[in-house]
Structures are given as C-alpha cells and as structure tokens.
Amino acid sequence: MQWNRKDLLELYDLSAEEIELILDTAAEFKKVSQRRVKKVPALRGKTVVNFFVEPSTRTRVSFELAEQRLSADIINVQTQASSLLKGESLLDTIKNIEALRVDLVVMRHSAPGAQAFIARHLNCGIINAGDGAHGHPTQALLDIFTIREKLGAVKGLNVTIIGDILHSRVARSNLWGLLKLGANVTLAGPSTLVPREFESVGVKVCHNLEDAVADADVVNMLRIQHERQTIGFFPSTGEYSRFYGLKAETLKKMKPSVLVMHPGPINRDVELDSDVADGDKSVILEQVTNGLAVRMAVLYLVAGCVKK
Amino acid sequence: MHKLLIGAEEIPEIIRAVAQKIVDAGFAGDCVLVGIQQDGVPLSEKIADAIAGIAGERPLLAKLDISMYRDDIGKMRRLPLIRETEIPFDINDRELILVDDVLSSGRTIRAALDAITDYGRPALIRLAVLIDRGNPEYPIRADFVGRRIELPADRRVAVRFAPDDAPGVYDEPWIERHPETKE
C-alpha cells in the first residue's frame, strides 16, 4: 500500500486501504507524543499555512501542535486579518500565499468544496480542515482511530451518530469513512435534522433515540449547532434534550462496552448529560489526544507527495 | 536483473560470525540489539539467538523505524511506510547495538542515531551489519561486519530473509525492489 495524494479533501475519495494506512501511520505518531522528546524532524524545512476562513479553536490548535511536533515552519492566517475582507478572491489570496513557496495549506472554509477547488489550481498540498456542512476528514479519521484503538476493528460494528446530521460535516465524513471500513451506520435525530435521503447511501435513519442506540457499539453525539439554526428545526433546546440528549438512564440500557463520543465543543445537558460526558464510557478527551496523532500522520503523508 | 551474491545456506554462518564478534567485544545479555526497520528487525532476532547460543544469555531487542528522521521527504518518488518503533524499556545508560542488513551510504544510520537519542542517552552505541558495501557518503563505519561486498554505486545489495522470498544476498538495480528510494 502506498500513499499517493498531495491533498486530503474528503474520505469519500479514499479507499479502505488508504484510510487504514493513515490510521496505522497515526498509531506510530501517537507514540511520539508519549516520548520524552515529543518532536520529530520529518517536516523540517517545510512551511505550512493554517488558513481558517471560519472560526476554529480545537482543530486549529490540534493542527498547529501537530505541525510543531513534525518540525514544520508555521504561518497562521486569520480571516479577520486577511485581504479577503478587502475584496480579494479566495483563489488570489491562496495563490499569493503559495508564491511565498509554502508546501502545505490547512484550510477551513464555510463553502463546501472550497478546498477541492483550490487544490486543482495549486501545486502545494491542501488539507481540508472543514468545508461547510460537507466534510471534516481529520475529525472522522480521529473518531475512527479511537473506535479502532478501543474496539480492535471497525468492520461489523454498529455506529450511531446522533444530532444535527443535516448541518454536520463531521457526520458526513464519518459515514463515508465508516461505510468504507465496513461498519453499520445509523443516523438519528429529529426528522427535520435527519432526512430520509441519507438512506440512499446505505445507512439507517432513525428518529427514536432508544431504538437507535439499542445495539450500538459506538454512539457519536453531535453538537447542536446554534449558529446554524437560522430556522426552527426543533421547538426548543429543552425539548431536543428530552428526546435526543443522551442520559445516564439510557446509557444503562445500552451495551456495557459502548463508547460515547463527541467531536466537541459539548453543550452540556443538551445533547449529552454531564454524567455521561464525564463517565467511564466517554472517550471524548481521548478523541482529542488521537486527533493530534491523526493530523501528524496526514501532514506527513501529504507532505511526502508535494513535489517541488 | 539481479544476481545471487551469497546463497541462503551461507547466511546463518555469517550471522554467527557477527554474533561472535559482538560477544568477543564483551557484549552479551546486558546489551540491547536495536533492529532498524524493516530488514534489521528479523536480523536482530537472528543475531540475538546466535549470541544466546554462544554466550548463554540473550540480549534485549528493540525495533526502530527511521522514516520520521529522514531528510529526503518529498524528494523520494514514493514515501516510505512508517513501521513500528518498539523500545519497551529505558535506554538511558544502556549499551545499544544498532542492527541493519546493509551499510551503504550511512544515511540510514545517521537518521537512526537521531531517532534513538530522542528516546534517551545511551551509554554507548555500536553498529552491526550483515553486509558492508563500502561506499559511505557520511563518516559512519560499522563495528561488527558479516561480509564486505564491493559494488558500483548504481547497484543495490538486497538481503532477503523470508523463506518464501528466495532468501539470499542479491546484487540488483536500485529501482527493482525499492522504487521509493531513488528517483
């Protein structure tokens, strides 16, 4: 198996073998963070630009630390300070950045497909750190890494993703990755946020929480994205929480080995009870730790395919 | 186009010779053999067995992958796969012997020295190789050598251990089995 891509745009594009290769590579990078010296010289002399045209804290921090641990040089471009505000087109902005001879651009943008568009015009590598509701491949990879590390394999597992699926790039990237690796995926939440159309790609859609989690090996609780709720998809947060929030009583009826995941940031006591978020089934903080390893692996693999 | 240089039947004898040199230099059960991925790992196990046969005590084993320490990422035609690093004990103040199948340019050993010292500060480090092909690009020499072979720079010495892979030491072009290593 060889990695041969200068960009990571969406898990939909990857084969099961390519996904496994990233996960195997991440397992070795995870060990680096457990050593006395937490840094390797793999990307020494390479320059990485973190270009975030949409707010992000955890993903940006995780990428930045991953880049530091690979010994890359780093530039952070923030929207508020960028010339996009002066009317420059996105492609012009990125081409100007590339003209400084950078090797990789890690990019978040609110427009689905923005990274794929940019990647066609650039020689440097592009890593998608989130494009609208379309994809967030490194988040899905870290979720799948965590599942594989905890439960051994992904094939045949029942994974239920609960919440605002309609607006969720995390759900989309997860379902492509999980389906490729042979998991059974169930999407659950109110019908306004979990349309039946998703069934056409081979996942189950369920509008009742208890049915959706009964056989689950993994439940991934998504954040209710208040910033994307411009029209009322449900009557109130309280009602959402009552029907779709994961509570300690529900957890007791689930498999004893179940993993509770959340991509963060958590709305405590909305989608996830505090008891559950901090309980022994929760792997939420391990997801964050694994995110670093997965991003180091992706940066390393992609950088190896950027030709100068 | 590959040519057999050393037949499979001779390899155990060369391994024993390397083990004997290591024991004669005063190392045995208290040293650590660090196999460099990929082919240094099976070789380190075989040398450890041979040392156990000679000295009655078996050295500890570790595995080291040097991919993250290469200085040619992005220059290779293909990226090497990262394989397992497993150093299951504290290497501070221990005596280490790096093990690789072939010493060629010395660049792998340069990377291995950088990698291993990120895990601690060993008391000393030595180098054991099955084949020394004698065209160093860096000032690096092996301490324990099984066999010296001279070949032109455009040829590669390949050591194969796996029984299903026609074991032996071969003279072959660079591109044949390791297309990732040279343009």
CATH number, position A196: 3.40.50.1370
Instruction: Supply the pLDDT for residue B134.
Output: 82
pLDDT band at residue B177 using 50, 70 and 90 as cut-offs:
very low
Q: Is B155 exposed, middle or buried (0-12, 13-18, 19+ CB in 10 A)?
A: middle
Which residue among A28, A40, A307 sits closest to B84, beta carbon to beta carbon?
A: A28
Q: Based on the fold, state whether residues A158 and A282 are members of the same structural domain.
A: yes
- Per the structure, the count of domains in chain A is 2
Q: Does residue B68 sit at the A interface (CB-CB below 8 Å)?
A: yes
Say yes or no for a CB contact (<8 Å) between B119 and A307.
no
Percent of chain B surpassing pLDDT 70: 95
Q: What is the pLDDT of residue B101?
A: 95
Same domain, A163 and A91: no
Domain shared by A142 and A283, yes or no: yes
Q: Find chain B residues with C-beta within 8 A of A46's C-beta.
A: 73-74
pLDDT (average), residues B2-22: 94
**pLDDT band at B179; cut points 50, 70, 90:** very low
Measured distance CA(B163)–CA(B167) in Å, rounded? 6
| Same domain for A171 and A207 | yes
Task: Find the DSSP H helices in A99-184.
Answer: 114-121, 137-151, 169-180
Residue A149 domain-assigned? yes
CB atoms A305 and B79 under 8 Å:
yes
Q: Are residues A163 and A254 in the same domain?
A: yes
Residue written as token pair 């198996």: A1
Nearest Cα of chain A lies from the Cα of B183 at a distance, in angstroms, of 12
Angstrom distance (rounded) from CA A154 to CA A148: 6
Query: What is the percent of chain B where pLDDT is above 90?
Result: 70
Residues of chain A contacting B115 with CB distance shorter than 8 Å: 40
> By the CB < 8 Å criterion, does B106 face chain A?
no
Q: Is residue A308 part of a domain?
A: no
Residues 69-88 (B) with a CB less than 8 A from some CB of A: 69-71, 73-74, 76, 78-79, 81-85
Residue A49, pLDDT score: 96
- Full domain range(s) for residue A242: 137-288
Distance CA A85, CA A128 (A): 22
Report the complex ipTM. Answer: 0.83
Per-residue model confidence as pLDDT tens for chain A (308 residues): 789 999 999 999 999 999 999 999 999 999 999 998 999 999 999 999 999 988 888 999 999 999 999 999 999 987 766 667 777 888 998 899 899 999 999 999 999 999 999 999 999 999 999 999 999 999 999 999 999 999 999 999 999 999 999 999 999 999 999 999 999 999 999 999 999 999 999 999 999 999 999 999 999 999 987 766 666 888 888 899 999 999 999 999 999 999 999 999 999 999 999 999 999 999 999 999 999 999 999 999 999 988 76
Cross-chain residue pair B79–A2, CB shorter than 8 Å:
yes
* Residues A111, A163 share a domain: no
Q: What is the pTM of this model?
A: 0.92
Tally DSSP H helices, then E strands, for chain A: 11, 9
Judged by phi (left if over 0) then psi (alpha if -120 to 50, else beta), residue B106 lies in: left
Instruction: Indicate yes or no: CB of A304 within 8 angstroms of CB of B73.
Output: yes
Is CATH 3.40.50.2020 what the domain over B7-72+80-150 is classified as, yes or no?
Answer: yes
Residue whose entry in the numeric block shows the structure tokens 């609208």: A132
Task: For residues A232 and A189, state if they share a domain.
Answer: yes
Within this chain, do residues A118 and A197 fall inside the same structural domain, yes or no?
no
Residue B12 reports pLDDT greater than 50: yes
Looking at residue B40, its pLDDT comes to: 96
In this structure, the answer to whether residues A151 and A248 fall within a common structural domain is yes
> How far is it, in rounded angstroms, from Cα B146 to Cα B141?
13
Of A4, A41, A103, the CB nearest to B69: A41
- Is A176 in the same domain as A297? no
Q: Are residues A43 and A162 in the same domain?
A: no
Answer yes or no: is A6 within a domain.
no
B93 has pLDDT over 70? yes
Q: What is the predicted pLDDT for the residue at A78? A: 79
User: What CA–CA distance (Å, rounded) separates B70 from A242?
Assistant: 54
